[in-house]
Amino acid sequence: MLLLAIDTSTTAIGVALHDGAGVVAHEATLDARAHAEHLAPGIERALRSAQARPEDVTDVVVGIGPGPFTGLRVGIVTGRTFAFALGLPVRGLCSLDALAHAAWLAGHRGDLLVATDARRKEVYAAQYLLHDTGATRVAGPVVDRATDLPDAWRVMPVAGRGPLLYPDAFSGVPVRAPRFGGIPDSPGTAPTSDGLRDVPAGALADLAARRIAAGGPFDGLEPLYLRRPDVAPAAPVKSTLG
């Protein structure tokens, strides 16, 4: 196996490769607006780091959000195009599940809230229970103002940028981020050791590899927008010409 994982649901444009035993390469660039510009170079760097070629990839997984419309679409379309060009299977997973899995990999157990930036002063959020064998989503995902989330959620240990953006809304302890196989962070990319803020592509890759080995399940490839796109087509203009 050489699984390519892509996630563009958060500020981090993330790419990782997993060989079935562990993460062998990961890249993450922080940029909330330029997902398309950073994703292809990130894939190239990850393949180069793993001393692999595109033809060596056997599986593709993409994070399907929830996330902002444009950035999320870039990752899903890129993953589907890569897989189609090489005749590979492509699967989707909820990006918040990958954040919860990262917290599980870091050793957290018990209740967990995942809250990521949804812009418009809102967050995408879901509740999880982390036990010895993995993370189970209990409720969500939803999109709402941080202060309007259930009180029981806002006191839980939390992963994601929610508490960084809206510190007054969350009283739970932020969960630390895992590192993947001792792989160092690439120069100029997002650190993975300063807290679990964005979706780590390594965690998405690891979760997908475990699901493939177990025979699923996966979430399909339909993006989880949870609300209407920020940009909508203009209404048609009626012609005044006779």
Quick one: pLDDT at residue 195? 59
Eight-class DSSP state of 55? G
Mean pLDDT value across the chain: 88
Q: What percentage of the chain has pLDDT greater than the value 70?
A: 87
Tell me what the mean pLDDT of segment 213-221 comes to. Answer: 94
pLDDT for the residue 228? 58
SS3 content of the chain, % helix, strand, coil (to 5): 30, 25, 45
* pLDDT computed for residue 234 by the predictor: 44
For residue 9, pLDDT beyond 70: yes
DSSP 121-170: TEEEEEEEEEETTEEEEEEEEEEE-GGGS-HHHHTS-EESSHHHH-GGG-
The pLDDT value recorded for residue 184 is: 42
Classify burial at 226, counting beta carbons within 10 Å of its beta carbon; exposed 0-12, middle 13-18, buried 19 or more: middle
Q: How many CB atoms lie within 10 A of CB 179?
A: 18
- Position 166 scores a pLDDT of 96
Residue 156 has pLDDT above 60, yes or no: yes
| CATH number for the segment(s) 3-214 | 3.30.420.40
pLDDT digits (tens, 9 = 90+) for 28-84: 988 878 888 999 999 999 999 999 999 999 999 999 999 988 899 999 999 999 999
What sections of the chain are H helices per DSSP? 35-49, 69-86, 95-105, 151-154, 162-165, 201-214
Give yes or no for residue 229 having a pLDDT over 60: no
Give, as one character, the DSSP assignment of residue 38.
Answer: H
Query: Is residue 141 reached through a cis peptide bond, with omega within 30 degrees of 0 on the bond before it?
Result: yes
Alpha-carbon distance 122 to 148, whole Å? 9
Q: Which two tokens stand for residue 220?
A: 């399909």
Greater confidence (110 vs 240) lies with: 110
- What single letter denotes the amino acid at residue 131? H
Give pLDDT, residue 33: 80
CA separation for the pair 231, 22 (Å, rounded): 39
pLDDT at 74: 95
pLDDT at 191: 44
Tens of pLDDT, residue by residue over 172-214, are 999 987 766 444 444 444 444 445 899 999 999 999 999 999 9
Which pTM value belongs to this model? 0.89
